[in-house]
Structures are given as C-alpha cells and as structure tokens.
Amino acid sequence: MAILPITIYGDKILKEKTKQISQVDDNLIRLIKDMFETMHNANGVGLAANQVGIDKSIFIVDLHTVEGYEKLKPQVFINPKIILHSDEKNIYEEGCLSLPNLRAEVARSSEIKIQYIDTDENINEIDADDFFARVILHEYDHLLGKMIPDRVEDEIKKLLKYELASIRERKVKIDYPITNRKL
C-alpha cells in the first residue's frame, strides 16, 4: 500500500466528471487500498478517486472514528448513483482534504438512497441519513466535478476567495502530501 498525493483546489481533474469503472481488477483493489491508507494518513472520513488524481467513478468512506458510527464498516462505492434524496436539508460545516484548512457551511439532503457496485461486482443499495448521508453526498459531488465552493451561496464564495487562491497556489501548510502540479 502507498500514501498517494492528494489533488487540491485548482487541479483540473477535480472539476471534471469521472469515468465509469468497467470491472473490478487487481489494479482497482490496489487503488482502493492506497486510497484508504491515504485517507487515514490525512485524517479524512471520505475520499474520491479524483482526489488522488485518478479519473474513476469510485469513492470510499470510513466513519469508524466518528462518534455514533464506530460500528460502521469502511465502505467502497463503485459507479455510485444517488437514486433518492429527501427534500429536507441540513446545514453543517464541512471540510475537504482537497481544500486544506477551509471550512464552510453546506446544505445537503438529510436522507438519501444510493446504488453502487461493491468490490465483488454486486449491485447494492443503502439508505443513509445525517452525517453518513452528508459524507456520501460530499464524495459523490467529487465524482461529478463539484466541491464545497460549488455548493455555497455566492456571498460565502466571495468570502472564501483568498483562502481558495492560497490553496490553488499551494501556499497552505498541510501535514499530508499533495500534488506538485495541477492535474
């Protein structure tokens, strides 16, 4: 396993929709293991493949360190699709490994149903709510080429302008590896 550098705001790959995965093979399993190691090293709870420079429709979630989710096993979502979401929204402050040191309040559906393929190539559906739903929606956004700044009001985005510029120019102090160049 390896710790991969994380792409950050301004990297082109984060603004593009990812490509579907046609099969689960040894290379994908290695990527998944590397993604978990990378996410844990950066103290994250979710990570999408394009956040490590890979143009594939896959993300991982591990909430075992979050109070109330200690028994939830780490999960892999391949070619996910949100099939239902509640109209009820919750507003909560979010962070992102690709937006180091930046936090902003984001409104997201409080309940969702997601369909995805697991590593055995089985189609699954699960319901998620509250924080679990938020993390899934956050990572799912990455696969669509969206990030926190795309989900906040224009006034808030203006307030984040200088922080976003610092991140894009790689003028932030981070304790995990990031890409050297814009991917």
Q: pLDDT tens-digit profile of 11-55? A: 999 999 999 999 999 999 999 999 999 999 999 999 999 999 999
Residues 6+ apart with CB under 8 A from 72: 63, 64, 132
At 111 the pLDDT is 98
Q: Could you give the domains of the chain?
A: 12-168 (3.90.45.10)
Residues with a known catalytic role: 139
With CA atoms as reference, report the closest residue to 6 among 56, 43, 42: 42
Q: Is 123 exposed, middle or buried (0-12, 13-18, 19+ CB in 10 A)?
A: exposed
R_g over Cα of the chain? 16
Q: Where are the beta strands (DSSP E) in the chain?
A: 46-48, 58-61, 75-85, 89-96, 99-109, 111-117, 123-129
Whole-number pLDDT of residue 182: 57
pLDDT attached to residue 162: 93
Say what the pLDDT of residue 180 is: 82
Full-model pTM:
0.95
Least Cα distance to 4 among 46, 43, 33 occurs for 33
pLDDT of residue 81: 98
Low-confidence ranges of the chain (pLDDT < 70): 181-183
